[in-house]
Structure 1
């Protein structure tokens, strides 16, 4: 049997933290290893519990020590730790800083249960996770930042048809719209989309956009 995923939550908003903790503690394959209300508590908690912590979900803005600084310290001591940033809509610049500090993904605090579970599964599989509600502005900021998880990966080749699909995905076309544009069935388009996600090793449209921009498969002008 696969060992359960051990999680730690750090957030200074108690109601939000407790609600997230309750949801995660109900998952059969997950164990909540602890909670912290700020970055300093988070460091102490992980140091006391590691190596029995797999994933940390950390608010970016916390008192005493914020999520960015806590991420830097934690990953210096525990480089295999997976950290997911928790953020508000208005914190796009801080999300970029958190990724540059070493976080493997980020979620907006209004993310639903399935997206939270998807994010945890992705980082456990050593894939970055980009919130599905990522704005074009944030995607552009990430592309221009020093954050580049694709740098060490093998170069992936895409067929002409896959490139057409990638460009349409980046322009937010639905599967139906892509099919009509390329004279393909919806099922065929969805098959291409699945293969593209697998090749890029990303989870959703936001991941495709960031991968495509970072690897210069598409320019920002082509997103307009």
Structure 2
């Protein structure tokens, strides 16, 4: 990274918020410009500080993350919002994306994934948590959220489509290679090109892109 990302974080759980803020404040390319403990405070803080990226809990007092995100995106379409969620909040994650969030993370995400998510949304790419379940992927695919609809249609070769389906079914590069008689290294090369074409960071992103663009069916990943 060669840039400095201005970041605001919001969560009503003080211990979690302080721990997250401490970790982020130690990152060389991130400037933590503020913390909020509820949705109204978050909106006021973002209006005052004009950050590049916002990480916010979904369930907060006074104004929840969904309402806050909807308001923030209306007021400043350039702000990138990442939802912070518990594992059992699939409906709310979908609502956050429909409200304008650019990505989501489970609260137990590790440090590297948090940093990857921040970098991705800063670069205007959607970030899907690595722990995305098949159920949540299906819900997002059926939702109004579609970051691909205004972008150029990407074409994939028959071999790439074959590998996309196997990636979505959670097969490793080694397992894919054994199934279609390619070396692990060759499969990894295909996977890298597929991620670049889709402009996604991980397997969850491949699944979501493939579902939204009818490259696979929901039954293929269950």
Q: TM-score range by the shorter chain?
A: over 0.9
1:110 to 108, 111, 124: 108
Deviations 1:170-193 (A, max 9, x none): 111011100100111111000000
Q: What's 1:5 paired with?
A: 5
Distance (Å, rounded) in 2 between the aligned partners of 1:161 and 1:143: 23
Q: What's 1:134 paired with?
A: 132
Q: What's 1:21 paired with?
A: 21
* Corresponding residue SS for 1:68: helix
Deviation at 1:139, TM superposition (A): 0.2
**Structure 2: unaligned runs, 5 residues or longer:** none
Deviation at 1:223, TM superposition (A): 2.2
Residue 171 of structure 2 corresponds to residue 173 of structure 1: yes
* Corresponding residue SS for 1:61: coil
Deviation at 1:222, TM superposition (A): 2.1
Q: What's 2:158 paired with?
A: 160
2:67 to 57, 66, 69: 69
CA RMSD of aligned residues (A): 1.0
Distance (Å, rounded) in 2 between the aligned partners of 1:175 and 1:140: 24
Distance (Å, rounded) in 2 between the aligned partners of 1:104 and 1:66: 17
Deviations 1:10-34 (A, max 9, x none): 0000110011101110001110000
Q: What's 1:185 paired with?
A: 183
* Corresponding residue SS for 1:9: strand
Deviation at 1:220, TM superposition (A): 1.4
* Corresponding residue SS for 1:114: helix
Runs of 4 or more, structure 1, over 6 Å off, are none
Deviation at 1:100, TM superposition (A): 0.1
Distance (Å, rounded) in 1 between the aligned partners of 2:30 and 2:212: 33
Deviation at 1:49, TM superposition (A): 1.1
Deviations 1:69-109 (A, max 9, x none): 00011111111000000000010000000000000000000
Distance (Å, rounded) in 1 between the aligned partners of 2:130 and 2:2: 27
Deviation at 1:47, TM superposition (A): 1.1
Distance (Å, rounded) in 2 between the aligned partners of 1:127 and 1:218: 21
Distance (Å, rounded) in 1 between the aligned partners of 2:3 and 2:176: 40
**TM, length-normalised to structure 2:** 0.98
